[in-house]
Amino acid sequence: MTADFHLHTFLCRHAIGSPVDYARVAVEKGLREIGFADHNPMRVEFDDWRMSIDDLPRYIELVEQARETFPQLAIRLGLECDFIAGNERWIEELASMADWDFLIGSVHYIAPGWDVDNPKHVSRFHEMPVAEIWSMYWKAYEACIRSGLFDFVAHPDLPKKFGFRPDGDLRRFYEPSIAALAEKNIAFEINTAGLRKPIGEVYPALNFLKLARAANIPLLINSDAHEPNEVAADFGKADAIAREAGYSETARFEKRTRRLVAL
Ligand SMILES: [Zn+2]
Ligand SMILES: [Zn+2]
């Protein structure tokens, strides 16, 4: 009964494959439900790794075509939205532009022009204390959650991607976001893309998962696939980590309503 609610498409300009290609792999792997979540368009061109606003109708149409091609698969329509303080109105506008099943909130930008997971900025981890970079990220992540604009938030400890982590107990970074998730009743994901990156582990760390479980925060397990063969990648590992943290259910979304399904 596996689902994967974080799939990209060629329309975001750094992934390959159409919705129908991802759906085919999902069916082959025995999934019952998937969700597309391409990087959200901005009002005007913003960077080189997201969908153009002109492509939004095409995105919706391609997801619809995948639904028609694979009626045995539940295919949900979503977006992975960058949370950027001051840009909330645009997200609200986007939310009204389609019949979304879910919206994901993500933090990639921790300062203007600095997407923390972009390899072209990796040298910055040597130019300032890693703890400072993490503080910037987690402050933005908490604000993303508290905006209340999203159904779940993506890859919680993304700034570990290249292997840079502050010293000591990292729960000091996680706790404000866990509290915000609990207060706003918002879910989060285990994202297996981290296993395909230098850090070589899922987002988030086990200690984040344990805190989230204790606070009863709903969980999803997602691949963040950027090519069709990454659908449900490493779900066995993610499942084991979720269970280790005490989870026994995962969340799904339809028309922005959450339901829980046994792991
Ligand atoms: Zn991407
Ligand atoms: Zn992302």
Q: What is the pLDDT of residues 18-32, one digit of tens each?
A: 999 999 999 999 999
Structure tokens at 96: 């009204």
Positive or negative torsion for Cα 234, 231, 219, 2: negative
Tally of CA atoms within 13 A in the half-sphere of 44 that contains its CB = 0
Percent over 70 (pLDDT), the chain: 100
How do residues 55-77 score in pLDDT, each as one tens digit? 999 999 999 999 999 999 999 99
Output the average pLDDT for the chain. Answer: 97
In 3-state terms, what secondary structure has residue 172? helix
Going from the Cα of 178 to the center of ligand 1, the distance in angstroms, rounded, reads: 24
How do residues 249-263 score in pLDDT, each as one tens digit? 999 999 999 999 999
Going from the Cα of 117 to the center of ligand 1, the distance in angstroms, rounded, reads: 10
Going from the Cα of 224 to the center of ligand 2, the distance in angstroms, rounded, reads: 7
1 has a pLDDT exceeding 70: no
34 has a pLDDT exceeding 70: yes
Ligand 2 ion: Cβ-proximal residues, 5 Å cutoff:
106
How do residues 214-261 score in pLDDT, each as one tens digit? 999 999 999 999 999 999 999 999 999 999 999 999 999 999 999 999
How do residues 110-161 score in pLDDT, each as one tens digit? 999 999 999 999 999 999 999 999 999 999 999 999 999 999 999 999 999 9
Going from the Cα of 133 to the center of ligand 2, the distance in angstroms, rounded, reads: 17
pLDDT at 248: 98
Going from the Cα of 80 to the center of ligand 2, the distance in angstroms, rounded, reads: 7
